[in-house]
Amino acid sequence: METYNSDRHPVLLIPGLNDTARIFRQMSTHLQYSGWEVHIVEVFPSNGKLGIDKLAIQVDNYVKSHFSPTQALDLVGLSMGGIIGRYYIQKMGGIERIKRYISLASPHQGTIIAYFSQTPAAIQMRPNSALLTELNQDSTWLAKLDVTSIWTPWDLMIVPAYSSRLPVTQEEVLHVSFHGLVARNKAVIAAVIKSLSQKLGASDRNIAIE
């Protein structure tokens, strides 16, 4: 039986476009070993054919069915999963229970790669899309929870790579060679553990993953 640290919030991991729970296998293992209760929230379909606002409903339903109304949570979203998480936080009441939000290479300002697809989610991830414009017009949520943006300047899926930045947040810029390796990268996993470990509103020591 897993033994979790009751002082730590359960962690929601939301995969990205065309990802499954497998993308978080290494991160989930490290988090569970370190005492976190981990929930990987897979959304369906993950191929972009359902809009981000619709996929966020699945996150909301998962939270409501797995946790009590007073349970505080932390959320880590990868790529499109980070935008799904933002929509849940900002538009569906998630801000009332999410305490830490960590985005991993998420296109907060959009990615020009999204122009190569006509799916609803891809259209919503284009620069200046209606959905991203609506989310980015509201900056008040940033002050209500701990927010960390982790991204790589070598990202060829989030173009330009600095679109993953968020204003007035903690930031980790890590040189991961490929977008698909972000969630598996040891330095990224260490940065996630660092952000989840620190006291709310405070910084913490560096943590290395062996």
pLDDT of residue 205: 36
pLDDT digit string (tens) for 22-33?
999 999 999 999
Question: What was the pLDDT predicted at 4?
Answer: 53
3-state helix, strand, coil in the chain (%, to 5): 40, 15, 45
Residue spans of the domains in the chain: they are: 11-197
Q: Give 65-124 pLDDT, tens digit per residue.
A: 999 999 999 999 999 999 999 999 999 999 999 999 999 999 999 999 999 999 999 999
How far apart (Å, rounded) are the C-alpha atoms in residues 28 and 36?
A: 9
Percent of the chain predicted with pLDDT > 70:
92
Write the pLDDT tens digit of every residue in 191-201: 999 999 988 87
Band of pLDDT at residue 203, cut at 50, 70 and 90: very low
Give buried/exposed letters for 71-107 (b at 16+ CB in 10 A, else e).
eebbbbbbbbbbbbbbbbbbbeebbebbebbbbbbbb
Is residue 86 within 8 A of residue 147, CB to CB? The reply is no
- Strand-by-strand arrangement of the 38-40 sheet: 38-40, 11-14, 73-78, 98-104, 146-151, 170-173
| Residues paired with residue 148 on neighbouring β-strands, in sequence order | 102, 170
Beta bridge partners of 171: 149
Q: What is the mean pLDDT of the chain?
A: 93
- CATH code that applies to domain 11-197: 3.40.50.1820
Task: Say how many C-beta atoms besides its own lie within 10 A of residue 12's C-beta.
Answer: 25
What would the pLDDT profile of 110-161 be if each residue is shown by its tens digit? 999 999 999 999 999 999 999 999 999 999 999 999 999 999 999 999 999 9
